[in-house]
Structure 1
Amino acid sequence: MTQYLLSVHGNEEQYAAIPEEVMQRMFTDVERFNEQLQADGVWVFAGGLEGAETATVVDSAGGSPVFTDGPYLESKEHIGGFWIIDVPDLDAALRYAAAGSGACQGKVEVRPFQAEPPAEA
């Protein structure tokens, strides 16, 4: 089995334009999708994120940490939420991503996690 990150991308203007009743239906659809992931035994973890403006970037590459307010990338779209699933292959991950995209009415990027190196004895 391989773990995949299914990340939901969007922007604040896009979310602000969604009528309240549509947003509530999306929340219901996402909860139903979450329940399906759990029932299928592929759920690892999921969560929604606060807006990108709440981010803090930490850079310790120079030895001392530097803290900067705001998102790392200056872009119109940011990750709004994500799922981590554990499935046999990319085809299965893509099927779940399609269902998740339908539930949240947004784009979902699918990326596998790197394989863990073997533990040293």
Structure 2
Amino acid sequence: MPSYVALTYTSDIDWSDPQYAEEMKDYREFGQAAAAVIRGGNALYPTATATTVRVSGGKGGDVITSDGPYAETKEALTGFYLLECADLEEAVALAARIPAAWNGAVEVRPVLEFEQKS
């Protein structure tokens, strides 16, 4: 069965803050309702905790890091779900039930799975 990642874009907030407990309840309810197809996922800390990595000059070049987000945006990547669905239609229907879709956005992408060598 194909896998899809559902990337959640919402306000750039700290979901571990108790003031968002009521909203987190909606996410827990979604997680319970969709448990049969969720294969993984988590919320992300705010973009202020991000480290951006670049390599100057391409492969083997100097590693350059900078603190914070890559770009200033109204909505930030705040989490993800890994879904195993029959097709894109099912993944989109499920994404519409993720609370981030109600006041932000959910981007659904098929996962390109590489062969695993043992």
RMSD over aligned CA atoms reads 2.5
Task: Provide the rounded CA distance (Å) in 1 between the counterparts of 2:101 and 2:30.
Answer: 7
Q: How far apart in 2 are the matches of 1:44 and 1:80? A: 18
Q: 1:104 to 1:11 in 2, by over 3 A?
A: same
Deviation at 1:49, TM superposition (A): 0.8
State whether residues 26 and 103 of structure 1, in contact with CA within 8 Å, keep that contact through their aligned partners in structure 2. no
Partner of 1:26: 23
Find the partner of 2:33 among 36, 40, 45.
36
Structure 2 unaligned blocks of 5 or more = none
Question: 1:7 and 2:7 equivalent?
Answer: yes
Moved over 3 A (4+): 101-106
Distance (Å, rounded) in 1 between the aligned partners of 2:21 and 2:102: 11
CA, structure 1 residues 99+106, in 2 after alignment: closer, same or farther (shift >3 Å)? same
Structure having the larger proportion of residues in helix = 1
Residue 66 of structure 1 is matched in structure 2 by 64
Give TM-score, length-normalised by structure 2.
0.77
Number of corresponding residues: 110
Structure-2 separation of matches of 1:66 and 1:2: 36
Q: In the alignment, what sits opposite 1:78?
A: 76
Percent sequence identity over aligned pairs: 30
SS of alignment partner, residue 21 of structure 2: helix
Task: Say if 2:12 and 2:78, in contact at 8 Å, map to a contact too.
Answer: no
Deviations 1:74-121 (A, max 9, x none): 3222111111111110011011101113787532111111243x579x
TM norm structure 1: 0.76
